[in-house]
Chain A
C-alpha cells in the first residue's frame, strides 16, 4: 500500500471524469482495500461486502462528475459512498431476510471468500479505536457511524436529550481524532 502514486489527485480526477478505464483500474488498485476494510467493518460479512464494493466502484464511475474537490478529498468522497451503500444494505429487506436465513449459502466461490471471513472486524480500523472509548460514547458512535442513525433517531432510541447526543458524539470524535494520529 506504500506505492508512490503515479498521478496527482487532480490529474487522477480529470482522467476519471473522462471515463478513462485505465485510471479506474488504478483507482481500484489503490483504494479497493481501504474501502473494503470500511465496508467489512459495517457489514461483517465478506461475501456481501464484496457485492457492495463492486457496486461502490460502479457508482464512483457513474457519479464522478458530481465529486466537488472544494468540499473534500477524493478518498473522503469515496469513503462516504462506501459507508452509505453499506448502511443501505443493512437496511434493505433482503439483508434482513438473509440474517434469518444464514444457513442458505451459495457453493459457488466458497474457497476464496472463506479466507477473508477470518478477519475479525473488531480488530481493524475505526472499530479498534472505538474499543478505547468510554462505553456510552462507543455505543453512540456505533449507532451514528456504523448503523447510520440520525442524532434525532438516537435520542429517541436511547431516551436521552438530543443535545446530549450531539455533545457526546462530538467529544467522542475529538478523542478518536487524537487516537487516529
Chain B
C-alpha cells in the first residue's frame, strides 16, 4: 500500500470523525503505529477540527456545569453506572468488585447478627434495668431501618428498568435538587430530595408528573426528608416531573410560580 495515496484518500477524515467501520478502524490504527506521516496528517486534521469547533463554540447554560460538578462530587448515585462501564472495559475488575460486594455483605450480616445476639443477651441480663435494654432495642431497630433503606436504594439504582430523572432547582430555589427514580416497568415513582428549604408547618411540597402538558399529582412530602427515598404515587407516563410548594395536604393543580425544581424524563445513560 502506498501510504501517500492512503492519506489522501479521505480515510484520515473518516477515522477522526468516527465514520470508519470496525475493520477500517483496525487497519488505520495499525498503520498509524507504523507511519509517522499518517500520524502527522491525522494530528493536523484533528487540530483543524478542534479550531473550527472552538471558533463555533456556543456557551452552554450555567446549570450544566453545576450539574456536572455535583455529579462527580457525589459519585455514589452513579455507582451502578460506574460498574457497568467497568464491565465493558475490564471484565476482570468487575468480578473483583462483585466479590468485594459479596464479602462486604457477608461481613455486614455477621456484624448485624452479632449485634442482635449481643443486644438480646444484654437485654436478658439487664431485665432489672429495663430502660437500658429498651434503648438498645430502639438503636437496633433504627440501625435495621437504615440498613433496609440502603438496600432498597441500591436495588432501585441498579434496576435496569429504572429511569433516573435529575431535577434541577428553579430560579425560586436554585440550590434544591431531587432525583426521581421512575420504574417504567411497574410504574412506581420514588423520590430523593436534597437541600429543599424548610417550609412553614401549614405548607408541604408536592410532586407532579407532566403528561401531555397536563400536571398530575404524585403526592406530597415534607422538607425534612432529606436524602431519604420516598415512595410516591405510580404513573405509567410522564414527560417531565416538577415539584411545587402547596398548602398542607396538596392542591389539585400546581402553583407554577412556586416551582422548586423540574426535570425531563429521558433514557438513562
Contacts and interface: CB of A to CB of B under 8 A. Distances in A.
A109 to B, nearest CB: 7
B267 A50 contact: no
Interface string B227-269: 0000000000001101000000000000010010110111101
B139 interface: no
B18 A84 contact: yes
Contacts of B11: 170
A176 B85 CA distance: 35
A93 B72 contact: no
Nearest to A47: B264
Contact of A125 (B53, B63, B89, B262): B53
Nearest to B65: A28
A52 to B, nearest CB: 9
A76 interface: yes
Contacts of B132: none
B78 A58 contact: yes
Given A25-B69, A73-B46, A108 B262 contact: yes
A58 B49 contact: no
A37 B53 contact: yes
A138 to B, nearest CB: 15
Interface residues on A, range: 35 or more
A157 interface: no
Interface residues of B, number: 66
Contact of A144 (B10, B19, B51, B64): B19
Contact of B58 (A75, A97, A116, A169): A116
B5 interface: no
- Say whether chain B's binding surface is mostly helix, strand, loop, or mixed: helix
A92 B267 contact: yes
A4 interface: no
Nearest to B10: A170
Contacts of A21: 69, 72-73
A111 B58 CA distance: 17
Contact of A94 (B9, B65, B71, B266): B266
Contact of A104 (B8, B60, B212): B212
A32 B56 contact: no
A34 B52 CA distance: 9
B148 to A, nearest CB: 29
B160 to A, nearest CB: 15
A112 interface: yes
A161 interface: no
29 contacts: A1-B54, A21-B69, A24-B72, A34-B50, A34-B56, A34-B57, A49-B60, A50-B64, A54-B68, A58-B71, A62-B81, A71-B32, A73-B46, A80-B18, A88-B267, A94-B265, A106-B242, A106-B264, A107-B262, A108-B242, A108-B259, A108-B261, A112-B62, A113-B61, A125-B53, A126-B52, A169-B14, A174-B10, A177-B13
